[in-house]
Amino acid sequence: MKRLCATLLLTLAWVWMVSADEGMWMPHLIKQQKLQEMKALGLELDDRDIYNPEGSSLKDAVVQFGGGCTGEVISSEGLVLTNHHCGYGQIQRHSSLENNYLDDGFWAKTREEELPNPGLTVTFTCSIEEVTDWVKACLERDKEKDVDGIFFLSPNYLNRIAREKVGEAFLSANPGMEVEIKPFFNGNQYYLFTKRVYSDVRLVGAPPSSIGKFGADTDNWTWPRHTGDFALFRIYTDREGNPAEYAADNVPLKPERWLTLSTKGVSEGDFAMMLGFPGSTYKYYTSWEVEERRDIDYNVRIRMREVRQQAMLEEMLSDPAVKIQYASKYSGSTNGYKNAIGTNWAINLRDFEQVKRDQQNRLLEWAERNNQPRYAEALRQIETMVKERADGRYRSWMLSEGISRGVEFASVPRGGWSRLNKVLEEIGSRWGRRSRHKEELEDACRQLIDDYARFANKDYNASVDRKVSVAMITEYIRLIDREKQPAYFKNIDDQFNGDVGAFVNHIFDQSLFGNPENFGRFKSNPLAYLSKKKNRTALREDPMFCFAQSVSDEALALRTALEEFDIPFSLAKRTYLEGILAMDGPYTHFPDANLTLRLTYGQVKGYRPSDAVNYVHQTTLDGVMEKEDPDNWEFVVPGRLKELYQKGDFGGYALDDGRMPVNFVATTHTTGGNSGSPVLNAKGELIGINFDRNWEGVGGDIQYLPDYQRSIIVDIRYVLFVIDRFAGADHLIKELDLN
């Protein structure tokens, strides 16, 4: 009886943990999984209004923006709304000291002024089809070819059979169409995604960073927030409406669906949902994986990024040009840093290890009752492998965070250097007889020159790299035993008596790529430069290339050692999740995020982060003015914004009490990739743009925290106000359908 009660309590606890607003649900399964709960919260739509495989629906207005964000189509002329930080790289590339769009903003007054962005794509999801049986049949058919047992999770294999399923004729007849099969629940389910990809995407408008990035890194992952994190792009097609590469005579996309924007605002308790492309979650971690993530992965990230960011920020604040160069790099670093801090806080606060142990124990009891011992064996294997890979994983994370990411010259392109050294080795001491190698020699020299252009680009500053590298290498060698460091690091002690600064200065001073004078002599006449034996020797022993090669060799060795765990670990995890699905039903749970289209829903709602602290759901422009600090680049307020605030000139977008709304929060379950996701009301109208989470909620990647987890959203009225009143871009307002 006691055992039965315990099992019942565990089951009830599990049901509670997957209820409420938790979940990143697949939109084509909403009717059978969540529609009634959504309607109980206030949804006024049916499932076909959200996802309709036979006609237009809300999902047709949602795009994957680039490779890691979401956007939404908001006009009949292909206008796309996403986050400022999602378009930050494009805005940065178009910026210069003369036209500083990061600081001043950008607004195209005509279509001709809209700026192209080579390499940027937006992707529509046309359809989603379950193909589990098809994939399993293919895996059985091809099992003799699957010598390593990896096909069940292999993107190459799965996408190859995706093309096989739809046929090459279909793809040829539909320009821009792509198909992809993705595994879910570690290969227990498979879905085929048919997508259309557009590659002519142009920048239309962006507020200055003092609006789009207001609060910057200090406010990142926090609430209350006061950031206008949005940017506008436009999709272009050829004259037949097909996806096409950039061409001056391309025309704006005529989309199947675009969103209506609601100016009615939000209230506490209102229904809210969003569609988007969340990147990665770890809902089905075991307790041992939770411990590994906290004690190895995130502890390393927190420590090493603290060192990097401090050194980088000092240089950025002392030079405006460096601030532009390193803005994106710094932002990317702090983003992951704060996420790690918040995740570790949540793991400890809610004892995620115990939560996952309860999940495991529930399966173990079910498996014992149903005579399924393989699920217990899978858990034993997972525990063993996590322990066995701990040292290699720690060293790998230290090398990645401390050196590969933290030291820019550790990633110097080595292709031209390796090729040139190979040719010189073939020539040997017979330099005077080099004529038969002349063409290959000249090609290798050109490749080396091209490599330098890629390395020393407009976003690279050697003096910054020197300073940051000294800090990173110093901390790395403090925390990693000498015999476990890259081989080249022995020179720090052997040649420089442990002086990291002297070691780094030597690398820059003596390297072809680190010293502009050295490179200039080479570039002006490569063959004349190489005619001297000392220069050929210096090239072969170039310290920057040798450093990078040694780091690469160490990374490869660690990766190879850790990869030995990958296949058995994936197989054990597949078995574990097979047990979860067998126990609870195949469609009870939502799968972990994997950059496929998902729906999440909840309510507009504040929260209480700690004792005697209560955060309401809405912030206003009052808070921007309260945070203003003209001496702190993160909290500078544009003069035009202050002028509008002082006049109360909010253009009809204000709250009933006259204040101008800026951001709000909702209980929706989001992660990276949901940046830019449309936040919709009960009628499916756009009320905001998701752009962040509170740091107390980032642990939701492992386990949803209903009391803490909040999506941070730009109120659509603030977006309209900035476009209309601040920027004076009323031609864009006229494109929109407003309610």
Q: State the helix-helix crossing angle for 390-399 and 543-563, rounded to 10 degrees.
A: 150
DSSP 8-state code for residue 221: T
Helix (H) or strand (E) holding 189: strand 189-198
Residue type at 331? S
> pLDDT band for position 226 (50/70/90)?
very high
Task: Decide: residue 76, CB within 10 A, 0-12 exposed, 13-18 middle, 19+ buried.
Answer: middle
> pLDDT band for position 20 (50/70/90)?
low
pLDDT at 5: 43
pLDDT value at 41 more than 90: yes
pLDDT at 96: 86
Q: Pick from 75, 82, 49, 230: which is nearest to 737 by CA?
A: 75
Q: Clarify whether 675 is annotated catalytic.
A: yes
pLDDT value at 11 more than 70: no
pLDDT at 432: 67
> pLDDT band for position 217 (50/70/90)?
confident
CA distances from 358 to 140, 348, 580 (A): 35, 16, 13
Over residues 439-444, mean pLDDT: 89
* pLDDT per position as a tens digit, 327-360: 878 878 888 888 899 899 999 999 999 999 999 9
Give one word for 321, left, alpha or beta, with left for phi > 0 and alpha for psi -120 to 50: alpha
Q: What percent of the chain has pLDDT over 90?
A: 86
CA distances from 415 to 459, 491, 547, 548 (A): 21, 24, 14, 12
- CA of residue 723 relative to chain centroid, distance: 27
* pLDDT per position as a tens digit, 492-533: 999 999 999 999 999 999 999 999 999 999 999 999 999 899
Residue type at 659? R
> pLDDT band for position 430 (50/70/90)?
confident
Choice among 209, 550, 675, 677 that is catalytic: 675
pLDDT at 544: 96
Q: What angle do CA 342, 346, 351 make, to 5 degrees?
A: 155
Phi then psi for residue 174, to 5 deg, are -130, 90
Choice among 28, 84, 85, 617 that is catalytic: 85
pLDDT value at 17 more than 50: no
pLDDT value at 538 more than 50: yes
| 150-175 per-residue burial string, b: 16 or more CB within 10 A, e: under 16 | ebbbeeebbeebbeebbeeeebeeee
| 458-491 per-residue burial string, b: 16 or more CB within 10 A, e: under 16 | eeebeebbbbbbbbbbbbbbeebeeeebbebbeb
| SS3 label, residue 72 | strand
CA gap 690, 679 in Å, rounded: 6
CB atoms < 10 A from the CB of 657, how many?
6
CA gap 565, 574 in Å, rounded: 14
Residue ranges, comma separated, of all CATH 2.40.10.120 domains in the chain are: 11-121+199-283+590-733
Which of 99-108, 432-441, 658-667 shows the lowest mean pLDDT across its residues? 432-441
Give one word for 265, left, alpha or beta, with left for phi > 0 and alpha for psi -120 to 50: left
Q: Structure tokens of 373?
A: 């011992």
- Say if CB 641 and CB 624 are below 8 A apart: yes
Residue with tokens 């996806």: 243
Rank 7-11, 17-21, 404-408 by mean pLDDT and report only the highest. 404-408
Over residues 646-664, mean pLDDT: 96
CA gap 411, 544 in Å, rounded: 10
Phi then psi for residue 281, to 5 deg, are -135, 170
Contacts by residues 407-410 (CB-CB < 8 Å, ≥ 24 positions apart)? 407/465, 407/468, 407/469, 407/472, 407/473, 407/551, 408/460, 408/465, 408/468, 408/469, 409/455, 409/465, 409/469, 409/507, 409/508, 409/511, 409/513, 409/514, 409/544, 409/547, 409/548, 410/547, 410/548, 410/551
Q: Structure tokens of 106?
A: 């950008």
Q: Structure tokens of 623?
A: 């808070």
Residues 6+ apart with CB under 8 A from 11: 362
- Say if CB 266 and CB 681 are below 8 A apart: yes
DSSP 8-state code for residue 27: G
Phi then psi for residue 137, to 5 deg, are -65, -40
- Say if CB 254 and CB 58 are below 8 A apart: no
Q: Pick from 341, 220, 346: which is nearest to 285 by CA?
A: 346
Question: Residue 189: beta bridge partners?
Answer: 184
For the chain, the residue count is: 739
CA gap 659, 337 in Å, rounded: 34
pLDDT at 4: 38
Which of 21-30, 199-208, 322-331, 528-537 shows the lowest mean pLDDT across its residues? 322-331
* pLDDT per position as a tens digit, 126-145: 999 999 999 999 999 999 99
Give one word for 676, left, alpha or beta, with left for phi > 0 and alpha for psi -120 to 50: left
Per CATH, the number for 11-121+199-283+590-733 is: 2.40.10.120
CA gap 482, 466 in Å, rounded: 22
Strands (E), 523-672: 598-603, 607-610, 613-615, 618-620, 661-666
CA gap 166, 33 in Å, rounded: 28
| SS3 label, residue 195 | strand
Sign of CA dihedral 653, 657, 661, 665: negative
* pLDDT per position as a tens digit, 154-186: 999 999 999 999 999 999 999 999 999 999 999
Alpha helices in 174-221, H assignment, sequence order: 209-212, 216-219
CA gap 605, 202 in Å, rounded: 35
Over residues 617-622, mean pLDDT: 98
Q: What angle do CA 364, 370, 373 make, to 5 degrees?
A: 55
pLDDT at 320: 85
* pLDDT per position as a tens digit, 564-608: 999 999 999 999 999 999 999 999 999 999 999 999 999 999 999
Sign of CA dihedral 655, 657, 662, 665: negative
- Say if CB 198 and CB 190 are below 8 A apart: no
Choice among 229, 297, 451, 592 that is catalytic: 229
CA gap 332, 54 in Å, rounded: 40
Residues 6+ apart with CB under 8 A from 697: 342, 346, 705, 708, 709, 710
pLDDT value at 61 more than 60: yes
Over residues 684-703, mean pLDDT: 95
CB atoms < 10 A from the CB of 656, how many?
6
Residues 6+ apart with CB under 8 A from 468: 308, 311, 312, 315, 406, 407, 408
